[in-house]
């Protein structure tokens, strides 16, 4: 209550709220319970999985990945994301991984010369990937050279009659 409020006056606005709060606190104290804090999470346990114990973020992510069965997916993504660490800076500068699905790692080389060189190094590349991620992640390496658009196939291709088509 404000200091200038008289006993016969009707309470309005903030004074009414203060009075209601004071009455609620007094009633709670009389029952032997403390008032509940709504604006803060202090005092309330955080539930993480089956445990009420707090957990570090990395542990929570690891646990989630294990529960959902995403270990292979995250391992494959790790190989693609950390390609330079896996194969070294020189090789990573001249090729990039495109996909790693069903045990097949597909690489795109920057030139045909590098594609040939990488084809000769497939066993070494496969060994490095397996050392980094495990033997079951990659079992085959496919190297492709730089690609140009292929106009021989597609929905905009016109079927011609061959060489006769251009000679009147």
pLDDT tens for residues 108-156? 999 999 999 999 999 999 999 999 998 888 999 999 988 766 566 667 7
Tell me how far apart the alpha carbons of residues 98 and 105 are, in angstroms, rounded to a whole number: 8
Q: Token pair for residue 133?
A: 């991620």
Q: Is the pLDDT of residue 1 over 50?
A: no
Using one digit for the tens of pLDDT, what is the confidence trace for 59-116? 989 999 999 999 989 999 999 999 999 999 999 999 999 999 999 999 999 999 999 9
Least confident of 50-54, 66-70, 100-104, 159-163: 159-163
The band of 164, judged by pLDDT with boundaries at 50, 70 and 90, is low
Which residues lie below 8 Å from residue 166, measured CB to CB, with a gap of 6+? none
DSSP letter for each residue of 8-52: TSPP-THHHHHHHHHHHHHHHHHHT-PPPPSS--TTSPPPBTTB-
Point out which residues pair with 106 in neighbouring strands: 99, 142
| Reported CATH class of domain 68-144 | alpha beta
Alpha-carbon span 109 to 92, nearest angstrom: 9
pLDDT score recorded for residue 151: 60
List the end-to-end C-alpha distance of the chain, in Å, as a whole number.
105
> What's the half-sphere exposure (Cβ side, CA atoms, 13 Å) at 59?
7
Q: Would you list the domain boundaries of the chain?
A: 68-144
């Amino acid at each position: 209550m404000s200091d200038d409020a008289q006993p016969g006056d009707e309470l309005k606005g903030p004074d009414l709220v203060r009075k209601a709060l004071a009455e609620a606190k007094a009633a709670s104290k009389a029952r032997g319970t403390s008032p509940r804090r709504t604006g803060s999470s202090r005092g309330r346990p955080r539930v993480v999985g089956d445990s009420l114990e707090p957990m570090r973020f990395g542990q929570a992510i690891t646990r989630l990945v294990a529960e959902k069965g995403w270990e292979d997916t995250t391992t494959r993504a790790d190989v693609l994301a950390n390609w330079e660490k896996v194969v070294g800076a020189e090789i990573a500068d001249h090729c990039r991984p495109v996909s790693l699905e069903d045990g097949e790692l597909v690489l795109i080389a920057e030139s045909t010369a590098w594609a040939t060189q990488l084809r000769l190094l497939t066993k070494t590349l496969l060994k490095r990937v397996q050392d980094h991620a495990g033997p079951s992640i990659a079992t085959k390496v496919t190297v492709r050279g730089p690609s140009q658009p292929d106009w021989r196939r597609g929905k905009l291709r016109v079927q011609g009659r061959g060489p006769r088509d251009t000679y009147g």
